[in-house]
Structure 1
Amino acid sequence: MSVDAAQHVREHAPALVRWLLPIALMLAFVGYVGAWVDHKAAGLVITGLDLGEYVKFLTPVRRSEVTLWREGFYLPLVTVSLGASLVAFRAELRYGWVVRACLLILAVVAALNLLPPAWTPARMMTDEFRQQAMALLFCLAAMIFSPLLALTPRKITAALLAALSISAASVPIWQFFAVLPAIETLYNHPQQPGWGLILCAVSLLVLMAAALWFGWRKERMV
């Protein structure tokens, strides 16, 4: 790389990180609710959001032949919700109110997707859904206190967001491949990871890199 090109990268890197964070959060959510198992018939498409409930009915899971942490499939939602709340009011990022509002809306939407189908308050307190209920309340609390979370030291925020991102990019995808043979048996056809899984995974890895870059750069975001 030439000296001029290197200087150009250094000058524009802070602004790049500033916008990578919200874009990666949004794309991770889009990928999560997109197709993880694609199919010509819309009713046979399985999204990342579906998997937390879908896997309960797979024969290997019901027989305990495959051991899963079912709530692990919801880690991308937790990461997107908490990540949006953590960065929305960061002074270094200097987001306008439109961007902040979009991030807070994203935080709420991602959190509410933790609710199971046909939920009731009593059902959320059962052992089956208690972890989801706790995650939901924690995410909504983080959104409410987002301006205060912006006062957290930058490196702590960056490390937390990076840790959430790598967890959300690894646990659900590892579990997806663990149950993929059972899904292929049901569909009676080999299945490839859908576009949603790929977009979600790549976006979460970009989010992790952007978070670390944000946390350990000395320059002020512009």
Structure 2
Amino acid sequence: MTRLLRRRGSIDTERTRRAGVLLALLDGKLDRQTAAAALSLSDSDPVVLATARPTSDDARESDAARVVDLVALHDEYWHPGAAAALEAGEVHLLLPVATHGHVEERLADRLRKLGADLVTAARRSTRVALTVGFGPAVPGLAQAARSRHLAVQVLDVLRGDPDRHGPVATLGDVRAEVVLAALLEGEPFDDEDPRLTQVRAILAHDAAQGSEYAQTLLTYLGTFGDIVATAQQPRSRQRRPQPSPSRR
């Protein structure tokens, strides 16, 4: 029994340490290289940030602690370099992902399953109902805060219409709602992650090949699908106008 208690204490200490590293990274108090070393990750490893939140605001503190333990356990099963941290009633998860071996939808399926497992475990063990939102995969710890920001926006959509969306969603599941909510709030929204996967693929191809498929598509949409009118547009008109340099 003493040995088990010591092991549990060691696990709790390590989880607390990793939680502190994650919160410091997300708050901008720790640079990505230091955080990566503390979490035994490369600072360029792709990661997904998730946020879990009780559906009720009156969850007991003891229940919240048990939820954090459950989340941390699932987190560690996902990847040894994962971390979980409680902040202002929300549990943030850092999930390293191997994007090179998974197409986007396959990764989304894995994330949804993880979210569903968390919801089920919390309900069975603590009777706390959770909602879980996943941000996009980002190419390194430097962009972890951006993924967390979008995960929180996904959560806000889930809480706004739980009957429609259920307790778990990725950014791709509620992309339109996230963008619309930002526009209605008058927030600047120039983040590339909420763009459709197909649009991002076209932009990436254009950047790599020097082609103009994306701009041609915009021209096509601007002519309401008139192929002839699109073809007749001079290439210079199909390009986006560049802002002129400001005069001093």
TM range (shorter): under 0.3
Q: TM-score, normalised by structure 2?
A: 0.22
Higher strand share: 2
Higher helix share: 1
Greater RCO, 1 or 2 (C-alpha within 8 Å, sep 6+):
1
Rg larger for = 2
